[in-house]
Amino acid sequence: GAVVSQHPSWVICKSGTSVKIECRSLDFQATTMFWYRQFPKQSLMLMATSNEGSKATYEQGVEKDKFLINHASLTLSTLTVTSAHPEDSSFYICSARFPARGSQYFGPGTRLTVL
């Protein structure tokens, strides 16, 4: 199957700093990537849809100025959590949609802890 990577796999940062998470499709080009957030013992909640070359589409209730998404190439999307606070601590997972087929492949996730 297709491979999607995320970097870093975990990160601890101080409150007020910004953190960038990368999502890469390693063996296919993904025009669309998705960013999810998951709190412990809860389901995945879609944050935004990232389309290459255009602005991301954010779900209702997600602050676009806080969660900056950039999809600069067909294999890379980045999520930047700006001015992170402890309540932003969560598991962030990206997925990449395989073109034409519509299958979605998930990255391994990034665990963010904000102190």
- Contact footprint for another protein (CB under 8 A): 1, 32, 34, 38, 42-46, 49, 51, 54, 57, 91, 93, 95, 97, 102-106, 108-109, 111
Would you say how long the chain is, in residues?
Answer: 115
> Using omega within 30 degrees of 0 as the cis cutoff, is the peptide bond preceding 86 cis?
no
Sign of CA dihedral 74, 80, 86, 87: negative
Residue 49, φ and ψ in degrees, nearest 5: -110, 125
> Using omega within 30 degrees of 0 as the cis cutoff, is the peptide bond preceding 8 cis?
yes
| Closer residue to another protein (CB): 40 or 86 | 40
Least separation in angstroms between residue 79's CB and another protein is 16
| Closer residue to another protein (CB): 15 or 103 | 103
Query: Are 111 and 7 within 8 A, CB to CB?
Result: no
| Closer residue to another protein (CB): 4 or 19 | 4
Least separation in angstroms between residue 109's CB and another protein is 4
Least separation in angstroms between residue 52's CB and another protein is 10
| Closer residue to another protein (CB): 16 or 64 | 64
